[in-house]
Every structure is written in structure tokens, then in C-alpha cells.
Amino acid sequence: MFDGLKKVLRKIDADYADIRYEKKNVASITYNGRELKKIGENFSDGYVIRVLKNGGFSSVSFTKEKDAEQAIKNAVKHAEILGSKSKNETKLADVEIFKDNFKPNLKEDPREVDIDEKLEILKKYNNICLNHDRIINTTMSYFDLSRERYFLSTEGAEISEELVTTGISGRIMSKDGNVIQNVRAGVGGSDGFHNIRGREEVFEKKKKIAIDLLNAEPVKGGTYNCIINPSLTGVFTHEAFGHFSEADIIEDLPEMRKKMQLGAQLGSRKVNIIDDPTMPGQLGFYRYDDEGVKSRKVQLMKNGKLVGRLHSRRTAHKFDEPVTGHTVAEDYRYAPIVRMGNIYLQPGEKSFDDLLKELDDGLYLLDAKGGQTAGENFTFGAQYGYVVKNGKIKKMVRDINISGNLYKTLKNISAVGNDFKLGELGGCGKGQMNRRSCHGGPHIIIDNLIVGGV
Amino acid sequence: MEKLMDIAKKHADQVEIFSIDKTNKSLKYTNDIPKDLDYKKSSGISIRLIKDGKIGFAYTKNLRDRKQLVENALKSLKGGVEAGFDFPLTKSIKNLDTYSDKINNISSEMMVKEAERITNKISSRGENETLAVVNASESSLRIINSAGSDLATKFSSYYASGNIIMKGSASSIGRMFVNKDFKKMPDKLLNEVLNLYNQSKNPVEPNGGKMKVLFMPSSSITYLWRLLSGTSGENLYKKVTPLADKINEKVFSEKLTIYNDPTNDNLPGARSFDDEGVKTKSYKLIDKGVFKKFYNNLNYAHKLDCEPTGNGFRSGMWGGDEVTLRPSPSVSHLRIQKGNSSFKDLISMMDKGIIVEGVLGAHSGNIPNGDYSVGMSPGIYVENGTIRGIAKDIMVAGNIYDTLKNIVAVGDTNYFGHGGYVPPLLCENVSVSNK
């Protein structure tokens, strides 16, 4: 494999170039209600070339080998144009060069499991969800996805690594009269098919929530102190904070960049945040990123102070900060961008009961339902919640969307629980989809969250 | 493709082959610097087989091994996905003007020059944080099936946009311009961006409550997503639409008329057939507030025992890679009938309200029910017909089946937004919550 790619690389007249060839295998099965909607296994492949020339950095992607020459011509020309127009020359931070062939340690390789068995397991979980007269529909999908990556650079890197992701995820829809509710359910991981087996209880629990939500009251819009569960802590950490730890996001936002200076006290002293793609067995695991840099654990926030940032080689040089190995692509269609791996808020010391007592009155919000940010403002949904009165969990509430300002919210984290959980499934769409985006943390209390009710 | 058809026909009752080739060049210009200049070229082919009422599907990017592709589709067929429909024989389709060969003349240098021009227009001599995007693409697509259809089309598409970032955030005010080949983005659009930004710079913290909300085309996804969920034949079949028994009933304000408008070739991307070879039609989904029609593809038309509407497209919730997707009901050419209120008129009608230029969280919440609850990205506060400034820390929430009943006025200009070609919509009595 490397020999053919080397030949292509040799044709590029540039200061630096790399090529990534990827084979992608996808198995997918989907049920809609009791109806099997799709099933199949597919293979596709393609190339990405990046070129640095005269201070300009450009990328091309193509699927047919015969298009390589034209693609290279475009990449070199574009790099030259960018170089001539930019005020500052683009450079890549120096990194250690690796030659490695890394295969992940899979407890059970999903590619060796027959598709009929995958279908059976999916069907079983789907039937669990459907087995109630108030459940009107489900969308339940199985997927396994492998990226077999070959990376070569003119600096001598020669790396191959496989990333295999497996998951079952879906939505359960319940209905009573005019009220329709839906809840998400999912299991999965990056270390094998065993994550999929024996997970009936997850779907049983979520079905019950979908049914209970029919009798819950819509939450009243307003400002509340809230306990959020690890799933929501993860989404907050990822959406509201994590994206602004990505150097490529803030590099062109001068105002944001001023606020996100290393050393700035941004959060309450209770907040510690880490991104660590090296955590074995976790969804966001990888050894090398898509520019051949070895991944490492990065402390992003320490006692509320910003102490680290996620970088590509380009942004690390531009910011004059250490390279972190966080540059990842969705697949062969994309040049890599700065991404989170496993990001989490570090647990503290409070038990869940302590948190309830401390909250006294407010809301207990659980499980994420999508999130989005624009600058310092974020919005994300919670699948369900409860009113808390005098430190006791009371009635269930629904239709919950939370909105806030990153800096105010980081300062408003008033207590951090001692439990810890990371997500099993991800899906971060920063221009490209990252199925291995993983986040989590403990239960925490955030004061003064804006909750939009209907 | 013909060879692949011959191999596949031996194993199945019906065969459909879809192929696409795409080239895309895009330039992103941030502040006064060209940031990314990317080139992508991709091809792909996908196949659907029907045998004994079951359907199989497979795709690849490189057709190195035709037999392997057919085998993958056959394996998928074994799963037992039901298909009651037949691939159609479609002939004598309307010729649409979708391709300009001038698209090939757009050089990277021209794109840089245009992005520089856009930036200069809106940057106020470098004072504003700006983003300009220029994109040129072309694609050709062909569908053949065993019923004898052989349909092909070629498109060219060009777009440019100019945005000013609200200071201290990543939210922005912007407009987009589209065409079939290169054309300078009109100054009128760029002046709109600059004027609105200049009027909205100062942060304000309005009180919450029920008020008027002006959904700009850039935030139309908020209601369109829910509306397209409600009018989908797929959701009718799944029984998750509140519109199930509401055909020919008035469900929205009479000011709202929505078209499925695929054959309008004034805009790029017009189509006379959909991604499964069904002839497309322009028709009304909503006519003066009256719900007219569920849109569907071959599969759901069969399940619902009605005629296919030509809305079978290979697109996903987040766009996606056509060949890897199966056709699903989709309104890819949505247009809302414009009204007669200028932007100025609309603002003057707002005693108190929010101009929603962009939203956060349009994709979360109870979409089938029509509920939305979105953060502002940004939202601009208006009082007594005057723009006061960017509204901090607020959310706009409601249910589209209420909100779209309460349309006060419709803007007199259509713009490209996420999800369609739409005018600004001014609605009243919408809930705004704040800190």
C-alpha cells in the first residue's frame, strides 16, 4: 500500500506534502417501527492530499486514482495562491515522525460477526422498545464502521491505523392524544462488538421514560439552578467549552481569542477539564491523528483557569503552543480539522445526595438531546427532567432546552459530583461528522441556567 | 453502467443504477485573509435490486469490481427489506436549463478576487470581523433502470456569501447569493448585511414575554424542519404527524403559501426527475394556509397507496454523500410565496420583538410535534419599530402549528436560507424567555 502512495507523493513539488488513503467499510441496518428499512455492507475508498508551499497550505480530495495528477496540480496552485495572499506564512509545528502499523485491541471484531446476528440483536432491542401500546414508532439503527487509514508524509511518516466503531442508536416515540414525545437510546463503543451484546436494560429504561414523558408537564420557561447528569455535563463540556478549545475555531475570532488566553480564569475553581484520546477502550480513542501526530492527554482547564488548547500542527505553530494530536477527519472525503477525542469534566467530591441538598429548589435535567454553539452562546436539549423541591426529586418535566453563555455558565458551576461516566456514542458535526466524539463527566450543579419552555 | 446492469439483471427482477460525478472548489476568506481553498472531486455509483418484493442496495466509489458490488446488493437483499413498488419507466422529461459551461471559467484567482471584494464591502475598513465564502461546483448524474429509463442531467452551481461576525461571539449576520455560474454578489445584499450589523452592534437585555418574532431566511430552518416533518408521507405512514387527517383544512395563516418547486430553473439545481427516476412536479404543499399534500417517494407512495410526488431524493438530515444514501421523501426545492412588506415595513410593525437572524438548537426538541425552543445566533431586539441591538441571553420557543397561524406579514423578497428559498416571516405572540 505504502509504495503506491509514495509514488504519488514524489510527484508533488512542495515544501511539505502528505497523503492519506482510506478504505472505509460500513455495515448498517435500520428499523422503522417493526419494518426493516435498510440493511447492507459497503466499501468505499479515496484520497486526501495536503500541500504546503511558499507559506500556503491547501488540500484536495478525490476518489479515483486517475484524478491524482489533476488534484495535485490544484493543491499546489491553491497553496501558492494562499501563500501569496496571506500576511503570515503558514508553517507546521515540528513533531516526532513515526513509522507504525497500529491495530486497535478489539474484544470482538464486528467485521467478523455475521450480519444476520447483527440484525437479530437490533431486532431484539427494537422489539423491547415497541412492546407497549403507547409506543407508536421507533427508528433503531445498527452500524459498524471501520476506517483503515494509510498516512504518508514527505517528512518520512508512514502510519497505518484502523479505527473501528460499533453502535446501536435510535429514537423511541410515544404518543397519547395529541402529545408526541421522543427519547434517544443507544449503546456502542470503539473497542468491539461486545458493547452491543446484553444491553436490554438500556432500552427497557428508555422505553419507560418515553411513556412517562406523556404524563409529564412541559417545563416552565425561566431561570433555574439545575443539577445536570453526566450525559448533559458531557454535552456542556463539549459544546459550550470544548469547541472553543479547538484552535481552528477561535483563530479567526479575535474577540474570542482575547478571552481564551491561556492563564485566564474563566470558570469557577471547581472546574477541571481534560481531553484525552489515549484512554483505552473509550469511544474517542486513537493513537495517531490524521496528520500523523501521536495523541496525548491535554489538561484544558485547571481550577477554572484555561491551561491548554487542542491543536493541529498548523495552529500549534501559529499560536506558539504545543502540538496535541487532535487533528481528525471524518473519512477520505475530508482534510482533517481540530477535534476533541475524549473530553470530560473531572469529578469532584460531592455525592448525588449532597448535590440535591445543595440545590434545594431547582431542576434535575437528564440526557442530552442535541446541542449547538455560536461563540459564547450555547443551546442544548435535555431528554427529560424533574422538579426538585427542598432537596427532593418531585414531578417529571419535558420539552427542555437550555441556553446560556459559556463564560457565565463556567463561573456558575457551583458543585461537582463524585461520579463519572463517558458517552458510548458520539456524533459531532463540525463541518464533518465525528462518530467517535466522546464526552462525559460527573453530575454537576449549574446556577442560573436559562430554560426555554413552550 | 450498462455492463453492471447486465450482470445485475441476471440476479434480480428489477435493477436501478445511480451514478454521480462531482467537482467542487471552495474558498473561505476570514477577515482579510484567504483561509481555505479546497478542491474535491468524487465519483460514486449505487445499485438497487428488487427480487420477490424485497429490495437490496449497495454503493461504491470506485467501480473496480462490478460483481462485488452486485454481490453486496444481493447480500443486502437477503435481509428482507420489503419493496412493493416498481422502478418506473420515465420518458420525455422536461428539458431544464441547469448547466452553464461558464462554470469552468471560474478560476481560483477570480474566486479570491470576489471574496476580497465582498470582504471590502462589509468590513468597514477592517473594523468588522468578516467571513466570505465563494463556491463553484458542477455535477452530473445518471439513472438507468431495468424498466428502460435512462435519465441524465448536469448542473452547475455557484454561490457566494458575506457575513459579519457579532463581536465576541461566533454568531453572524449574513446573506447568500446563488447562481448557475459566476456573477458578482449584488451590492444590495452586502449593504443589507452592513446596515443591519451597524444597527445591531450594541448588546441589550430585553425582558421576556410574548412578542413579535421576525424569522429571517437564515433562521427559517426552525419552522421548515418541523413543517417538513409534518407534511412528509413517511411520517404520515409512521403516524407521527399532527397533519394526518388535515388535508384541505386550514392549518396556518392564509398569508402562508409553500411550494415544492423543483422545475423552476431560474435557480441552480432544478430537476425534472428525482433520484429514483420519477418525474418531478411543482405543486403547493400549503395554499393560503390550507394543507394540500403529503410529499413522498416511490416507497411511501406505494405504502400509502397514492401516486409518487417525485420527492425521492438521496439526501440526509445533514446533507450527505448521495451514493451512500437510499432515496427518501425530501423537499429539496422548497419555496415560500413572498408577500409585500419590505424589511423596513416589517420592522415598523414590531412594537416589541426579535429579529431572528440565526438559531442554535433547531435540530433538538420535539420536531414531530412542531415544538421548537431555540437560542439566538444572533437575535436582534426591536422596540417601537426601531432596532435596539443584539439581544443577549434569550431563547425563542413555541410550536409551529401555533406560530404559523399567527403570521402578521410576509417579506417581499426571497432569499436562500437553510432549507429553501424563503422570505422573512413576521409572527406574533411568540414566547421569548430570558435571564
Kindly tell me if the per-residue pLDDT of B237 is higher than 70: yes
pLDDT at B435: 57
pLDDT at B316: 67
Query: Residues A51-70: what's their mean pLDDT?
Result: 95
- Interface touch A403/B361, C-beta < 8 Å: yes
The nearest CA of chain B is from the CA of A280 a distance in Å of 30
The nearest CA of chain A is from the CA of B194 a distance in Å of 18
Lowest average pLDDT, out of B16-30, B99-113, B165-179, goes to B165-179
A34 Cβ under 8 Å from any chain B Cβ: no
Query: Residues A13-19: what's their mean pLDDT?
Result: 97
Please give the full DSSP string across A258-290, using - where no structure is assigned.
Answer: HHT-TT-B-S-TT--EEE-TT-TTSTT--SB-T
pLDDT at A178: 81
DSSP code of residue B341: B
Give the integer Cα–Cα distance in Å for A326 and B157. Answer: 34
Q: Work out whether strand B386-391 and strand B203-204 pair parallel, antiparallel, or are unpaired.
A: parallel
Residues 6+ apart with CB under 8 A from B10: none
DSSP code of residue B273: B
Q: Give me the residue from B37, B61, B68 closest to A44, CB to CB.
A: B61
Please give the full DSSP string across A332-383, using - where no structure is assigned.
Answer: TTS--EE--SEEEEPP-SB-HHHHHHHH-SEEEEEEEEEEEEETTEEEEEEE
- Interface touch B169/A374, C-beta < 8 Å: yes
- pLDDT top residue among B32 and A396: A396
Lowest average pLDDT, out of A103-107, B61-65, B295-299, goes to B61-65
User: What residue of B is the nearest CA neighbor of A454?
Assistant: B398
Place of cell 449532597: A354
Kindly tell me if the per-residue pLDDT of B421 is higher than 90: yes
DSSP code of residue A220: P
ipTM of the shown complex: 0.87
- Interface touch B393/A403, C-beta < 8 Å: yes
Query: Residues B40-64: what's their mean pLDDT?
Result: 94
- pLDDT top residue among A430 and A106: A106
* For testing contact with chain A, the best of B360, B401, B418, B434 (most A CBs within 10 A): B360
DSSP code of residue B95: P
* For testing contact with chain A, the best of B49, B57, B76, B117 (most A CBs within 10 A): B76
Delineate the domains of chain A, giving CATH numbers in brackets. 2-215 (3.30.2290.10), 218-452 (no CATH)
A137 Cβ under 8 Å from any chain B Cβ: yes
Lowest average pLDDT, out of A174-188, A221-235, A363-377, goes to A363-377
Give the integer Cα–Cα distance in Å for B231 and B309. Answer: 12
pLDDT at A370: 72
Contact A287, A254 (CB under 8 A): no
DSSP code of residue A15: S
By three-state DSSP, how is residue A241 classified?
helix
Residues 6+ apart with CB under 8 A from A347: A416, A417, A418, A419, A420, A441, A442
Lowest average pLDDT, out of A75-84, A359-368, A370-379, B170-179, goes to A370-379
Widest CA span of chain B, in angstroms? 72
- Which residues 395-414 on chain B approach chain A with CB closer than 8 angstroms? 395-399
Give the integer Cα–Cα distance in Å for B266 and B177. Answer: 13
State pLDDT tens for residues B242-271. 999 999 999 999 999 999 999 999 989 999
Contact A182, A173 (CB under 8 A): yes
A303 Cβ under 8 Å from any chain B Cβ: no
State pLDDT tens for residues B140-157. 999 999 999 999 999 999
Lowest average pLDDT, out of A233-247, B95-109, B359-373, B376-390, goes to B359-373
Query: Residues B347-357: what's their mean pLDDT?
Result: 97
Query: Residues A82-95: what's their mean pLDDT?
Result: 92
Residues of A in contact with B41 (CB under 8 A): 60-64, 67, 70-71
- Interface touch B240/A137, C-beta < 8 Å: yes
pLDDT at A405: 87
B44 Cβ under 8 Å from any chain A Cβ: yes
A119 Cβ under 8 Å from any chain B Cβ: yes
Query: Percentage of chain B surpassing pLDDT 90?
Result: 85
Share the mean pLDDT of chain B. Answer: 94
Neighbours of A89 (CB within 10 A): 12
Contact A324, A311 (CB under 8 A): yes
Delineate the domains of chain B, giving CATH numbers in brackets. 2-196 (3.30.2290.10), 201-222+338-434 (no CATH)
Residues of B in contact with A75 (CB under 8 A): 39
Question: A329, A338, A287, A347: which is closest to A308 by C-alpha?
Answer: A338
Residues 6+ apart with CB under 8 A from B100: B156, B180, B181
Q: Is the peptide bond before B378 cis (omega within 30 degrees of 0)?
A: yes
Query: Percentage of chain B surpassing pLDDT 70?
Result: 99
A373 Cβ under 8 Å from any chain B Cβ: yes
By three-state DSSP, how is residue A201 classified?
helix
Question: B137, B193, B68: which is closest to B319 by C-alpha?
Answer: B137
Kindly tell me if the per-residue pLDDT of B317 is higher than 80: no
State pLDDT tens for residues A32-43. 999 999 999 999
Confidence of residue B318 (pLDDT cuts 50, 70, 90): low
B168 Cβ under 8 Å from any chain A Cβ: yes
Query: Residues B70-87: what's their mean pLDDT?
Result: 93
Q: Across-strand partners of B17?
A: B47, B144
Confidence of residue A453 (pLDDT cuts 50, 70, 90): low
pLDDT at A269: 96
Q: Which residue pairs from B242-249 have beta carbons closer than 8 angstroms and sit at least 24 positions apart in sequence?
A: B242/A178, B242/A180, B242/B368, B242/B369, B242/B370, B242/B401, B243/B291, B243/B294, B246/B291, B247/B291, B247/B292, B247/B293, B247/B294, B248/B290, B248/B291, B248/B292, B249/B290, B249/B291
Residues of B in contact with A450 (CB under 8 A): 393-395, 433-435
Kindly tell me if the per-residue pLDDT of A253 is higher than 90: no
Kindly tell me if the per-residue pLDDT of A454 is higher than 60: no
Share the mean pLDDT of chain A. Answer: 94
Output the CA angle A413-A417-A420, nearest 5 degrees: 115
State pLDDT tens for residues A360-412. 999 999 998 877 777 778 888 899 999 999 999 999 999 898 888 889 999 99
Which residues in A177-213 belong to E strands, given as ranges?
Answer: 179-189
Q: Across-strand partners of A246?
A: A310
DSSP code of residue B52: T
Q: What sign has the CA pseudo-torsion B155, B137, A47, A323?
A: negative
